[in-house]
Structure 1
Amino acid sequence: MTNPLLRDLRILDLSRLLPGPFCTLYLAQLGATVIKIEEPHGGDYARALSPEMFALINRGKQSVTLDLRKPEGVALLKRLAAGADVLIESFRPGVMDKLGCGYEALKTVNPKLVYAALTGYGHSGPYRDRAGHDMNYCAYAGALDQIGSAGGPPVLSNTQLADLAGGALTCAIGILAAVHGARASGQGCFVDAAMLDGTLALQVVALSTLRTLGHTQPRGTDMLTGALPNYSLYECADGKWFALGALEPKFWQAFCAAIGKPELGRKPMSPGPTAEAVRAEVSAVLKTRPRDEWERLLAPADACTSGIYTLEEALANEQVRARGIVENVNGKPAFASPLQFRDAATASATPAPELGADTAAVLATIGIDDAELARLRAAGVV
């Protein structure tokens, strides 16, 4: 098999919980060597907060324990950083500098190092020192205001938009761009990835509406959030739901013909009384059959339709199974890399590491022998 694309990338991961580890999971799945640097007592908070989440997003990584509050721990991190391509951390701005291992300190031992700081609000601006979580960044980015039904309250999504898309994946793009630049120029850089910034940049449709109308539309009433009956959600006879995404006229007309209402396909699709009358007709039809029956009947129409699945159903879906994105790890489902390549490969992931499982092996690469390791352990450094 062709070697994974990032097989020569070595990453020190000091991040915790969800965003940073999810970022490095993607890189590990592409073949990067990811070394988690964890506190000797407890490690990544996710180990205790959500062991299953920890197991999912830390597969394929190694774990080394270092106490960065001790000078010897900082010295060891610097020695590891000298041979690394990337360091990623998710502390508040200034924490690593106070410990003596911020970007300015580490680039003296490795000028080519890419130092990625993944934070809520970034390393500049009046909010830089604020605490926050996914909902806070989504709230400030205008995303939370747009999620929910018309006339209803904002709704929390169980897909963390800021943590995963605005933060983790945006940061991964920044890291790869910076590594490419460092290898070309010999000079690394500081990647300042803020989850608020990344989430704000996702608000393309809402910003398009603002540019068109001079204001956004209330939640549930924009073009892709419920204003159009041909791009909406409908309840079926069994109480399950159906997604109709027939945005283009050809798909809308094909859908209307398939449900026995071809005349609806000739009506203009724009918000207003006509649209609501059409919605009522479509709703009445879709309530006459269960979801799975509609799926079978409408699949030949090729009209951008789908049942709304639970995660359990999604994992068993024939398309998902055919693509091989779901793996069985110790009898439980996990996600393989969502990226597939021709003439290249993703990495085979090992289970998430036990705390400190790789400390001896990794420190041996910088000359720490058994006797020195024993001394460091006795001193609480590792």
Structure 2
Amino acid sequence: MSDVTANIAYVRTKEKAPLPPPRRTTGVVAWMRENLFSSWSNTALTLLGAWLLYSIVPPILDWALLSATFTGTDRQACLRDGAGACWPFIDAKFDQFIYGRYPLEERWRVDWTFFLGIAGLIPMLIPRVPFKFWNALYLLLPYPIIAFFLLTGGVMGLEEVETALWGGMLVTLVVAITGIVASLPLGILLALGRRSQMPVIRMLSIGFIEIWRGVPLVTVLFMASVMLPLFLPEDVTFDKLLRCLIAVALFSAAYMAEVVRGGLQAVPRGQYEGAQALGLNYWQMMIFIILPQALKTVIPGIVNSFIALFKDTTLVLIIGLFDLLGIIQLNFTDPTWATPQTAATGYVFAGFFYFVICAGMSQYSRYMERRLDTGHRND
């Protein structure tokens, strides 16, 4: 009995607190061991990356911030020894970078166009905001008409402004947004036409897609601007910007068609058979069953096409339309700001603008992918 009593005295009545895990398996050290130094090759790449950052980042920061010029009224402020970026050039020309040569007293119309577009776009991008149908209807029907008359004028007492005076971010956004909005529905129709059972529609769709994909955008813009008027009657003319918008939309639609076609081919055959078993006709099957699944699958490809189109707007400079990059290059010739750092500063500003827009589209597409990725959940 004494032995039993002695053993009972050592029985715990409370659970002992667990020991903390080894420091090498948690925290920053564990993350570095797993991601940066997990093997000799990863270690070598980590050290190489650290050396590259050490070699590149400090000079960039020194040029853009530490040695940069932030105030001044002309080139003299940026001509000192060791001067970095000439940011007063951006400040002095900022209005031109946004509006181009749009008349100064009429620029409020551009501001209102931007405001009305943003006011309709932001609620459309937020999933939980109600009245999505009416919001989309506003962006597709009334807003383009309002924007057209606001920018061009000639009605309701507004002074007419020729598109030749447009420039900067205004032209960049007009070309990009028009191409994006027009290319997606056209691409969907072309993709459906290429998969059609009717030989005539299928061959016409294939011919359109292959012809437009077989030539570079530079050639398309050149043909639309220079060659197309030669084939029209003398009394028939089209605005140069309008010709550019049509060319960009058709060119982008050809690439969009192949992206959408990839999504259509990824939809299982059973989805088609199930829709037909429910008695749905062709368009009901496509609109309610097939296209939602196909478009969700190819969101990365669609956004990739949008980003490529947005960056390709810089090519409109070859036909005499001054987008953001074109208006920046045009201002390099201003002797008031002719310095060794002016060009680099302008290009950095343009690159930052394009990066912000493209990165924003990319991040929003990733958000939509995560939100729509419900196909394999069990809840």
TM over 0.5: no
The structure with the largest alpha-carbon Rg is 2
TM-score by length of 2: 0.25
TM-score by length of 1: 0.25
